[in-house]
Structures are given as C-alpha cells and as structure tokens.
Amino acid sequence: MTRTRRNAGVAAIALLLAVAHAPLAGSPPAIRGSSVADAAGPGCGELAATASAHQTSIRASVVAAGRFVPARTGRVEAGEEAAFRKLPAFCRVELTISPVAGSAIGVEVWLPTGGWNGKFQAVDLSHAIEQARAVSSTGNSGW
C-alpha cells in the first residue's frame, strides 16, 4: 500500500470519527439512533451526508440491538447467531474511498449509539462494540 492510499484511508476514517464524536466537555457524545438520543451528537443517518474528495459511496444506518446481519452474506451463519444476538444497538457506516484512480477501498465503522467510552479499536468489531468502543475495518468488499 502506498503512503498516499494509507493516508487517504486514515484521513477518511479520522474525518468520519471527528464528525461523529466532536469533543465536548464531560463524557464523549454518542451517535443518536432511532430510539437512543443524545443531543450532543449527530444522528446516524446524518453521517451519510458527510462528504470527502476521495469518497465514492457512503451508507449509515442504526442496527438494532441483536439484529446485525453481515453484508457479505446477507444472513447470519451457523455459530454467529449467539454472538450477534448480544450486540448492542450501533450506527453502522459503510463507505468506499478511492484515493487514487481505479482504487476502491471498503471501510466499515461501527459507532455506539449510546454510552461511548471514548475509545477506538481497529479490529474485532463485535467484541469492541460490546465494550462501547468505536471500531472500524478496511478492505471490505461485501457491500
């Protein structure tokens, strides 16, 4: 991976997280979900309007507690059901960035809809969201 691609990917994630979790006095804000509200943070759907020069697509939606379905298959596989059932509600953001011509890098960010602990984790999405951490993954081509 070239430095330009890496920097563009990091910049896109940083922009998304900065918009989602603008610093405020006290505890970090959460993303407002459909039924979970925090007046300090933007709504999950509002993140889809976030623009970037290298961004080619973005989707943002609230996943209800226990209702996550992986994009790669559109269904929950055997052995995944118990793990996904215990996930809290979260804002799922899927975007594709193209820092150089012909590239298409999939990025997925999960943001807690409430009680964010201010931490970010770059791997193990389901475990991290259970711990109230913002989390992301790159290289996704499932959407």
Q: Where in the chain are the domains?
A: 3-138
Q: What is the CA radius of gyration of the chain?
A: 15
The pLDDT, as a whole number, for residue 88 is: 92
pLDDT in tens, 61-91: 899 999 888 766 666 667 777 788 889 999 9
Cα 81 to Cα 99: distance, rounded to the nearest angstrom? 36
Please state whether beta strands 134-138 and 105-112 pair in parallel, antiparallel, or not at all (unpaired). antiparallel
**Residue 58, token pair as written in the block:** 């973005």
The pLDDT, as a whole number, for residue 20 is: 44
Give this prediction's pTM: 0.62
Cα 61 to Cα 114: distance, rounded to the nearest angstrom? 14
Count other Cβ atoms within 10 Å, centred on residue 55: 18
Cα 112 to Cα 130: distance, rounded to the nearest angstrom? 9
Segments of the chain scoring below 50 in pLDDT: 1, 3-8, 11, 15, 18-40, 142-143
The pLDDT, as a whole number, for residue 23 is: 37
